[in-house]
Amino acid sequence: MPWLWFGLKPALRAWAEPWQARIQEQLRAVEAVEIGSDCFIAPQARIFAEPKRPIVLGDRVSVGAEAFLHGPITLGDDVSVNPRVSMDGGRAGIRVGVGTRIATGAMIYAFDHGMDPAAEMRTQPVRSRGIEIGRDVWIAAGVGITDGVRIGDHAVVAMGAVVTRDVPDWAIVAGVPARVIGKRSDQGDRRSQDSGSNSSSGG
């Protein structure tokens, strides 16, 4: 698991670093990727980046097993991409801010097809406006994010939600299509109140 990489004891780290370096060297040799320091890329990850569709990973980024990444994609420092995440930057790209977490099975596609009823689907034009995900965001398991969306800083997208429109900073969204159900900025006060109520009722 990617998070185990960052908690390895020195003896294990000394063994694992050359192994991880070989994985990253192989990627650099065949793909248009930039990889920051102390990153972890699972050997089962699938990363595809052509010269005009690069992938840039900041420092301490982790990419889990069976994740699929097709550029253009830029991941900021301390971003984690869990197993079986699928990301395709289309032409306009996907940008993910510092410290964001993308949970298992999320699907993020920065392109869409036309739906002209007079033409077959296989001949429809492909459009790409790009996707921007802010810093310190939690994208939960199984989330879908469609092209043209911006997700604000510190937001939370609940499990299985499908995001079809912009999400404000600090918002918690859920559902299909996703809608705002709360604010993450309120959660600290709520936890304090719950804790106080429990203490009072306990005597």
Give strand pairing partners of 151.
133, 167
Nearest to 71 by CA among 113, 122, 108: 108
Interstrand relation of 112-113 and 126-127 (parallel, antiparallel or unpaired): antiparallel
Mean pLDDT of 135-160: 98
Q: Is 109 helix (H, G, I), strand (E, B) or coil?
A: strand
Mean pLDDT of 180-203: 63
Mean pLDDT of 15-23: 90
**Residue 124 falls in which region: left (phi positive, over 0), alpha (psi -120 to 50) or beta:** beta
**Which active-site residues does the annotation give?**
113
The per-residue pLDDT for 9 is: 76
Given pLDDT bands bounded at 50, 70 and 90, which one contains residue 3? low
**112 phi and psi, to 5 degrees?**
-150, 160
Given pLDDT bands bounded at 50, 70 and 90, which one contains residue 25? very high
pLDDT more than 70, % of the chain: 90
Task: Compute the chain's Rg from CA coordinates.
Answer: 19
Asked which of 1-5, 8-12, 91-95 is least confident by mean pLDDT, the reply is 1-5
Given pLDDT bands bounded at 50, 70 and 90, which one contains residue 16? confident
* 196: pLDDT strictly greater than 70: no
Query: Which is more confident, 52 or 84?
Result: 84
156, 136 Cβ separation under 8 angstroms:
no
Average model confidence (pLDDT) across the chain: 91
pLDDT more than 90, % of the chain: 81
The per-residue pLDDT for 192 is: 46
Q: In the chain, what are the domains?
A: 2-196 (2.160.10.10)
pLDDT digits (tens, 9 = 90+) for 108-121: 999 999 999 999 99
Nearest to 71 by CA among 88, 51, 95, 92: 88
Question: Apex CA 76: angle with CA 73 and CA 77, to 5°?
Answer: 140
The per-residue pLDDT for 197 is: 46
For 92, counting Cβ atoms within 10 Å of its Cβ (0-12 exposed, 13-18 middle, 19+ buried), the class is middle
Two tokens at 178?
């996703």
**Buried-state track 165-180, b at ≥16 Cβ within 10 A, e below 16:** eebebbbbbbeeebee
Given pLDDT bands bounded at 50, 70 and 90, which one contains residue 1? low
pLDDT digits (tens, 9 = 90+) for 151-191: 999 999 999 999 999 999 999 999 999 999 999 988 875 55
Interstrand relation of 94-96 and 131-133 (parallel, antiparallel or unpaired): parallel
Distance CA 46, CA 126 (A): 23
Given pLDDT bands bounded at 50, 70 and 90, which one contains residue 200? very low
